[in-house]
Amino acid sequence: MLLWFVRTIIVTGSAGLIGSETVKRFAREGGRVVGIDNDMRAEFFGAEASTKKTRDDLLANVRSYEHHHIDIRDASAVMELFKQHRGTIEVIVHTASQPSHDWAARDPQTDFTVNANGTLNLLEAARKFSPEAPFIFTSTNKVYGDTPNRLPLHELEKRWEIEPGHEYEPGISETMSIDYTKHSLFGASKLAADILVQEYGRYFGMPTVSFRGGCLTGPAHAGTELHGFLSYLMICAVSGRPYRVFGYKGKQVRDNIHSFDLVEAFAEFVRTPRAGEVYNIGGSRHSNCSMLEAIEMCEQISGKKLNWSYEETNRIGDHIWWISDVRKFQVHYPNWKFRYAIREMLEEIHAAIALSS
C-alpha cells in the first residue's frame, strides 16, 4: 500500500512526542489525520508536561488534522469515532499511554486501564470497522522486565558494557524472554497491551505490529523527571534545575531513537504490513549513551554545568544496560535507515528549549 493513497489515519496520543511526529509525517503524504488526545500527560506529570501547546500547533499548522478529546478507556467513544470513519481508515498508530513505571506504582488501576484496556478498545474498534488497516503500537523494552540486568556486564570508566562476543553484543533482540522477571507495573500493563496487539494479528489475521522502543526522544518532547530522559536532562542543564541520578554509578546505558526515525519505521511497515509482528526498535549501536556521557554532552552543548546529585538506590526494575538489536526490522525493511545520532538529538533538544525560554 502506498502512503499517498492513505485517506484517514487515526493517531492516538496525537499531541505527544511520537504522536505529533506521526501526524505531521502522514499529513505530508496527503492523508486526513484524526487525532485522539485528552492531555492525560498533564494529569500524570503536571502542567509543564501538558501537550496542549503541541495540540494547538497541530491544529494551526496541519490543515488536514482534526482533533478529538477522547479518553481511550471510553470504549463507546472510541467505537463511535471508528464507526464515523468506517470505510476510510487506512492506518491506526497507537502511541497513547501512561509511560512511567514510577507513576504506575502510585496508581496501578489507572496505569493498567489506560495501557491495556485502552489498547483493547482500539483493537476491537479496528477489528470491527477497519480490519485491513495496519495497526501500529508503540510498546516498550520494559516488556522484558529486568532480565537485561542478568546479562554479563563489565564496568568501564563512564558506562557499563556487555561482555565482548555475547549474542546480545550488537543489541538485545526479540529472542529475550519476557517471563520470570520483574517488569514494574508499567511494564506489566504495556506487556498486556503488546500481547493483545500480537494476538489480534495472529488470531484474527490483522496487520498489527508492536514496536518495542527504548528511549524515544526529539525536540517536541516535554520531558519530566519521571519520563523523558534526554529532554529533562537538557532542561535541567539549561535552567539550572537540580537533576538526580539513581543508582548504577550513573553508568547505566540507554539507546535513544529520534521521533523522526521511529515514525519513518512506521511508514515502512505501512507500505508492507505483516500480521502479529514484533520489533525491538531504538538507537541501537548507532545511537546510545550512559547517564554520565549524556551529562557531559548536555554540559558541552549548553555551555553550563549541570547541578546533579547521586542517589545509590536505583529505580525498581530499571535497566543497567539496554541497547536494541534492530537487525530484524532492517532485514524486513531494508530501506529504513537512521538519520539522527545522539549528539544531533541533544543539539535539537537544546535549540528547542532555548527557543521556548
| pLDDT at res. 223 | 67
Q: Please state, in angstroms and rounded to a whole number, the distance separating the CA atoms of residues 169 and 163.
A: 7
Q: Please state, in angstroms and rounded to a whole number, the distance separating the CA atoms of residues 148 and 320.
A: 7
pLDDT > 50? residue 100: yes
**Residues above pLDDT 70, as percent of the chain:** 96
Judge contact between 68 and 36, C-beta under 8 A: yes
How many domains does the chain fold into? 1
| Number of neighbouring beta carbons within 10 Å of residue 146 | 18
| pLDDT at res. 344 | 96
pTM of the model: 0.94
Interval 122-141: pLDDT, tens = 999 999 999 999 999 999 99
Q: Give Cβ neighbours of residue 58 (< 8 Å, ≥ 6 apart).
A: 14, 15, 20, 23, 24, 35, 65, 67
| Number of neighbouring beta carbons within 10 Å of residue 107 | 14
Residue 42 burial by Cβ neighbours in a 10 Å radius (0-12, 13-18, 19+): middle
| pLDDT at res. 240 | 95
Helices (H) and strands (E) in the chain, counts: 13, 15
pLDDT > 50? residue 2: no
Domain residue limits at 89? 3-356
Strands 253-258 and 321-322: parallel
Q: Can you point out the beta strands (E) in 153-270?
A: 153-155, 160-162, 208-213, 215-217, 243-246, 253-258
pLDDT > 80? residue 251: yes
| pLDDT at res. 8 | 97
pLDDT band at 227 (very low <50, low <70, confident <90, very high): low
Interval 143-171: pLDDT, tens = 999 999 999 999 999 999 999 999 999 99
Interval 29-53: pLDDT, tens = 888 999 999 999 888 988 887 899 9
**Could you tell me the CATH number of the domain that includes residue 84?**
3.40.50.720
Stated as kind and residue range, the H or E segment containing 181 is: none
Interval 14-29: pLDDT, tens = 999 999 999 999 999 8
| pLDDT at res. 49 | 79
